[in-house]
Structure 1
Amino acid sequence: MDSAPSDHPESDSNSDSDSSKSGSSIKDERGVIRASQGEIEREEDEFRVKGGRGGRSGWWKKVLSISRGEGGNWFRENMVLQVGEGESTRFWKQRWVGERSLEDMFPRLFHLNSNKEGFISEMGGKRDAWKWKADVSGAFSVKTAYKSLSNAARPSIPSSDGFDWHQVWKTPASFKAVLTAWKVLKQRMATCDNLQRRHVPISYSEAMCTLCKSNQESIEHLFFECQRAVEVWNEILVWIGKVAVNHHSAKGHFLAFTNLGRKEEISFLTGVWSCTIWCMWKQRNGCKFNQEPWNKDKLIAEIKSRLWSWRMAFDLKSAATGFRGWFAAATLSG
């Protein structure tokens, strides 16, 4: 493959005016467009990008370099060769049948063959082409590339306990809300009992529940056992038109709550649960650090308002029409 272009155009042998036109430099929107539409070349089973003005596209080069470490080469994994006449495809050394080359699948036959570098041009038909596997049409699209990159970059979350962590992370809600919900489920919130386990000095009075002042603060107590928390959950259940038993464990409460409706309602119920947890935590912090009074009505109003702003992501039709109707009841239509 050719050597990578210099990061400093002035170091090239061409003049400054010529180097400023290099495809490896993106200085304006038109440059981005030219780079994004750069021509992708194949060299054996590898890919390189060539810009529209004879240089390499730095934009595409960076995109192709993503996930070449742990996640593998995401671009190569999504490309499959469609063999036509075979004038550009090596019979033994390139992947054109299945996921491996014939050299790898039949090493003894490859060793006996005298034409190890030969092409398959005798097959006839239309010209060889590369197909994008991530899209059913076979054509590359930014949407499917983004999805492939997201899947490659997503961390592997242990699920030995059988819990569906992917359901939590794909919640169509604010990232802060999803992260707070995940911390609660993983027992990683900075509640007073967790801080004490980390040897953070906390007095007996400071370790009490900020909301009720009658029990030591823990994840289970703060979000699910405290009477004030129970009142919040009861109002939310009435608001969405559901009935549930109050579980005192985080995972038990999450599973019971998110399974109250039909399959198509799970994303909405997961969003309601995550939003309620997040808003409760924020009001707890206001009470603890800013000496703000507990205000259940303000908390419920914030939960409903935030869910209203996220409602389009839930892909559900609510029986309520308009914000006023939503605020009164978010009962889901059948």
Structure 2
Amino acid sequence: MGRYGPPGSEINMSKTDIWNMPMPSKPSWGVRGIFRARESAIPHICYSIGDGRKIELWKFPWHPAGVLSSVISRHSTDLSLSSLSLLAQIHHVQRWNPILSIPSLKKAKDLLAKGIFNNSNKNIPIWKPEANGSFTLESAWDSIRVKNPKPPWYSLVWFRVNTPKEAIVVWKSLQNRLPTRDRLPFHVNDKTCPLCSASLESLNHLFFSCGCSAWIWRSLLWRAGWRRKPFRTLSEEGSWIRDKFKGNGQLSTVITKGFQAAIYQIWKERNHRIFENKSTHKTQILKRILGDICFKINQLTTCRDSPHARAIEAAKHFEYKFSDMVRTVQFCSWAKPQKDEVKINSDASLESHCASIGGLIRDDLGMSLAMFILIWKISMSWS
């Protein structure tokens, strides 16, 4: 017996199963959610039958075809079994009830034989969306969600080196859902752009008609080999990127990541100027965007070579190397310490401008007890 809310919301699990359990008289919000999810899960559940006990023949979702009462009429099978009959009455550990050998019951036996049975005494649930029968949240979500075609802006928001917090800002901007000043209530007096202080702040002005943001975006395009002025609207800019840079090539990744990082950093700078009264020069904003691009590009396992990629590298516009080599990936395993002992694992890195070391202390059960990280800024020259 379990209680998940006020009196009247008790659930007695000892007398019935979750699939046939009636809704409590006064269910809590959580209990109502469980019962709603039950209806969605039934089509994706079946069982590998062992002893068949506690499995109701007609109402339990044990058969791959679904609940039998919804597949075939109980009276059409000539089994003479009540609606509360258990599966064990006709099948028990790989043995059928001799009554099913009667020729008139052949149709019923053929249907029942399509079930999944095992040699043990256990009735094992099977999650049908997964090949191995194990439940996963991913397969559950895919089985119940409505799958719509991808919107045209999908590739500008979700790609292999996107940053989630930046992706959310870009997604909102492409939907025209950012709270720019032109969308604020009428009683707000100052609606000028905080970056240029010359025009009304709107989405299309901020990206990239404003003098500050236009300079940043032109500088990014120039470093990628394109010299042009920004389009008048953000949607036009996004359409140009989608049409010009398709696929997962280096230049496409650089431009798409630059577009995402530029929108995020410009929006971040706008908020800093409004809410914190702090400003950063546009050259520093550009430097942050370039650093973001380089950091993400260097996370790629493979960097394919191309003439345009080598041209960017030769001009030193982006500080990363293109290579047709696959980076070496090391897989490490952790060995537990002896009982009542702890183990410390550490790693360190060294570059020309900084050094760092970190460590993790765990007990014999693998539980984390403490961790540390130290970073030093250094000045080093190589002879």
TM over 0.5: yes
SS of the residue 1:263 aligns to = coil
Q: Compute the displacement of 1:297 (Å).
A: 1.8
What code does the residue aligned with 2:214 have?
V
Distance 1:169 1:68 in 2: 32
Q: Distance in 2 between matches of 1:89 and 1:268?
A: 58
**What is the CA–CA distance in structure 1 between the aligned matches of 2:234 and 2:37, rounded to whole Å?**
32
Mean alpha-carbon deviation: is it higher for 160-169 or for 76-85? Answer: 160-169
Alignment of 1:131-210 (within 5 A): 131-140=126-135, 144-145=136-137, 147-148=138-139, 163=152, 168=157, 173-195=162-184, 198-202=185-189, 206-210=190-194
Contact between 2:170 and 2:263, CA under 8 Å: does it hold in 1? yes
Asked if residue 100 in structure 1 is aligned to residue 66 in structure 2, the reply is yes
> Separation in 1 of the partners of 2:221 and 2:265?
16
Tell me whether 74-83 or 217-226 shows the greater mean CA deviation.
Answer: 74-83
Deviation, structure 1 residue 288? 4.2
Distance 1:47 1:255, change over 3 A: farther
Secondary structure (helix, strand or coil) at the match of 2:126 reads strand
8 Å Cα contact 2:258-2:293 kept in structure 1: yes
Greater per-residue strand proportion: 2
1:14-68 CA distances to partner (integer Å, 9 max, x unpaired)? xxxxxxxxxxxxxxxxxxxxxxxxxxx99656499xxxxxxxxxxxxxxx98963
Residue of structure 2 equivalent to 1:57? none
Does residue 318 of structure 2 align to residue 328 of structure 1? yes
Tell me if the contact between 1:191 and 1:219 (Cα under 8 Å) persists in the aligned partners: yes
Cα drift, residue 279 of structure 1: 0.3
Contact map agreement 1:240 1:329 (CA 8 A) in 2: no
Q: Give the TM-score of the pair, scaled to structure 2.
A: 0.53
How far off is 1:177 after superposition?
1.9
Q: Which has the higher contact order (CA 8 A, sep 6+)?
A: 1
- The alignment partner of 1:136 has SS state of coil
Q: 1:305 — aligned with what?
A: 291
Distance 2:321 2:224 in 1: 5
Report deviation, 1:299.
0.9
2:204 to 220, 231, 245: 220
Residue-by-residue CA offset, 1:221-246 (whole Å, 9 max, x unaligned) = 11122233222222223445568884
Larger radius of gyration: 2
> Does the CA contact (< 8 Å) of 1:211 and 1:294 recur in 2?
no
Q: Which residue of 2 aligns with 1:282?
A: 268
Q: Name the aligned partner's letter for residue 193 of structure 1.
A: D
Matched residue, 1:11: none
| Cα distance in 2, alignment partners of residues 292 and 221 from structure 1 | 21
Q: Secondary structure at the match of 1:130?
A: strand
Deviation, 1:79, is 4.0
- How far apart in 2 are the matches of 1:167 and 1:227? 23
Letter in 1 for 2:132: S
The residue aligned with 1:126 is 118
CA distance in 2, matches of 1:267, 1:76: 43
Amino acid at match of 1:302: R
Once the two structures are TM-superposed, the CA of residue 298 in structure 1 deviates from its matched residue by 0.8
Q: One-letter code of the match for 1:92?
A: W
Residue type matched to 1:285 in 2?
A: N
Distance 1:67 1:271 in 2: 40
Amino acid at match of 1:220: N
* TM-score, normalised by the number of residues in structure 1: 0.59
1:199/1:304 CA distance change after superposition, 3 Å: same
